Structure 1
């Protein structure tokens, strides 16, 4: 149902979850998740429009996001002296890994099976075997059902599951999980969401046309090698369209996923809304998955550090609206992250609070006395209700397990 918002209550930087319309309720003023600018305010004032109408609600403003960046920057300064006592309590235990009770769950088994299915599809492409029409439709449906069963638990597999023998397949599945999550958060139509998921599963298939000598090179790539790698978007576009028999829209999402918001991407140097929204979503999730995965030339970033990278981007490479949708969907400390609390306990982030991304739902793994809780038996704490407890910093499980 459309509701009225008085013009005097409309402020620059406000963002609404659904489009704004003029007072006739038919002609659009502004698209959903786009900030109100002086231009819109001037037009409304010039035409003496008394109110606008929307089915949505106001969400976090650009200025609030800038406040969040400053708050995160401040947290970094506090991290140095925060962990000494607690880190001594953690030995070689598997306490920080995926809990055994989840490791043997049906949902986790299905997640692994989906990764295996994608890996088999990638091997067929690499070996140049004949590809059946629309080859990942079944995988996309399985992924949809998996997320419908327990979205937050499935998102946690992105940071907690370790499948080194299927790196590329896992990255594509994880990208599809996040792409679908963002598209749902942004309230895109079901058919558009489906195409985004398909493209996310396929977006790097063009990489299989790149020689392994380049992909596995540990040192910096030459200009010629960089050009070869950049061609993977075009290879992927052609494969998706002509070999896999998907639609032009899905193929365009694949083609454009390395375009940048500022126009400095490839292959066509598109910018802003000239880039398909589906491609902008895949650009963000592809970057998140890449940053939080170990490479031959660098270690994986913590999910928290990846989020700080996005926040610091400020609309250069990525669509800021998509970045905000990612943050509000999975948190500043992404679901599955291990965190140190101010009482020296260690916890895992279980769910996110979209309006308060720094205060998620957590499960205690090691309490302030050093007691460990195996198999998801630690207490749940909603930090929105526990104002005296807060996250001090993210924890790298690999480093802590070595202590």
Structure 2
């Protein structure tokens, strides 16, 4: 039987397991290669990276923390993400944002757009390996991809998608002037510290405005991605009519990715909980049309989510329903009595009106014993 790739929590790693994907550091160097047999020393090294999960090759269909990798659609290549992350790291580290670095940014955004457009279904799963230490880098790339997906769904022209993508990727560039001890503080910020962090929007705008190749739209994204429709955002307390569409897109994606990411001071929440919050803030903080496009593209229950059905079966979301985002396609993993299913099958909830999703399962524990539901 061929080996399947299973996303596995680092606390469940054991000697003898086979790594399913390369592990990289922030510079793109391979730390541990795909196919390597894990030793205890390697496991310790992985845990020190602050990575939550890794992919492991398995012969069996045993399920670990976030379900199987197979059937989870991912519309963009891992190499593109890695290249983008390296560019963001360079942008955050350089004293001056030069034209060479800008050309790299433009090129990688163009590549992202081409890859996303080439997919028949623009669907995204952001259940990626993340290091808390690299939050700003991962966040910038995720916000860029999410923003482009929404832009494509809104049928924004290619040239404007480029401006959206460049602005989204560099929306936090002003944070390089914020002291790291404040950015990485493991507890809530004081009012004084928060005022310092808020300056990153103006810093970013000023950096991007100096380049002749950066459009006003892209620079405005850096300035306005924390503005809110009701005028309670920053730095200028703009009202809805004063914020351009592209800044509204990035503002939404910025919040969604932040809520669903582990931070030094806050644990992530499940995607459906993040969307519940966002929906409550429609026409207060976020534009209703843009929120709808986000939900259309990622679903209320994003691909890769583990869910408990009203039938008591446990399944993995493998496809979303753009017409009715609350009714995705589920691959059943455990039957109603909690027994492993060896011949997996899929259920399209939209065609089975008596079946509902009762809960989202944050993790597996032990041998198919679930908690938190």
**Kept after mapping to 2: 8 A contact 1:333/1:358:** yes
**2:248 aligned with 1:280:** yes
Residue among 88, 94, 97 paired with 1:122? 88
Checking the alignment, whether the CA contact within 8 Å between 1:155 and 1:336 is kept in structure 2 is: no
1:2-401, aligned counterparts within 5 Å? 94-97=63-66, 99-101=68-70, 110-111=77-78, 113-128=79-94, 131=98, 132=100, 133-150=102-119, 155-156=124-125, 158-164=126-132, 166-243=134-211, 245-372=213-340, 378-397=344-363
Q: Is the 8 A contact 1:341 1:389 kept in 2?
A: yes
Once residues 391 and 106 of structure 1 are traced to their aligned partners in structure 2, the CA distance between those partners, rounded to angstroms, is 23
The change in CA–CA distance for 1:238 and 1:319 in structure 2 (over 3 A counts) is same
Say if 2:65 and 2:365, in contact at 8 Å, map to a contact too: no
Residue pair 1:351, 1:360 contacting (<8 A) in 2 also:
yes
Structure 2 gaps of 5+ residues are 1-61
Any idea what SS the aligned residue of 1:362 has? strand
Shift of 1:98: 5.7
How far residue 336 of structure 1 moved from its aligned partner, in angstroms, is: 2.8
Q: Distance in 1 between matches of 2:121 and 2:255?
A: 20
Contact kept, 8 Å, 1:338 with 1:348, in 2: the verdict is yes
Q: Which has the higher contact order (CA 8 A, sep 6+)?
A: 1
3-state SS in 2 of match to 1:136? helix
Does the CA-based 8 Å contact 2:64-2:364 persist in structure 1?
no
Say whether the 8 Å CA contact 1:261–1:271 is kept in structure 2: yes
**How far, CA to CA, are the matches of 1:126 and 1:181 in structure 2?**
24
C-alpha distance 169-127 of structure 1, shift in aligned 2 (>3 A) = closer
Distance 2:81 2:345 in 1: 31
Shift of 1:217: 1.2
CA contact (8 A) 2:307 2:357 kept: yes
How many residues were matched structurally? 306
Q: Structure 2 vs 1, CA of residues 152 and 292 (structure 1 numbering), >3 Å: closer, same or farther?
A: farther
CA distance in 1, matches of 2:121, 2:63: 22
CA deviation map 1:310-363 (0-9, x unaligned): 111142111122112212222222333221111122222233223312111222
Aligned to 2:330, the other structure's residue is in SS state: strand
Q: State the alpha-carbon separation in 2 of the partners of residues 241 and 325 from structure 1.
A: 29
Which one has a larger percent helix, Structure 1 or Structure 2? 1
User: 1:162-184: CA deviations, max 9, x gaps?
Assistant: 45453222212221221122122
What is the DSSP-based 3-state SS (H/G/I as helix, E as strand, rest coil) of the residue aligned with 2:136?
Answer: helix
Q: Distance in 2 between matches of 1:163 and 1:373?
A: 33
Deviations 1:165-213 (A, max 9, x none): 5322221222122112212222222322222122111111111221111
- What TM-score comes out, normalization by structure 2 length? 0.73
CA distance in 1, matches of 2:116, 2:309: 29
How big is the alpha-carbon RMSD for the aligned residues of Structure 1 and Structure 2?
2.9
Post-superposition Cα deviations, 1:299-318, rounded to whole Å, max 9, x if no partner, equal 10100100110111142111
Flag the 1:167–1:151 CA change in 2: closer, same or farther, 3 A: farther
Partner secondary structure for residue 379 of structure 1: strand
Distance 1:121 1:129 in 2: 14
Unaligned runs of 5+ in 1: 1-92
TM-score, normalised on structure 1? 0.68
Distance 1:268 1:98, change over 3 A: same
Is residue 116–residue 169 contact of structure 1 (8 Å, CA) maintained in 2?
Answer: no
CA distance in 2, matches of 1:153, 1:162: 22
* Cα distance change of structure 1 residues 287 and 244 upon mapping to structure 2, 3 Å threshold: farther
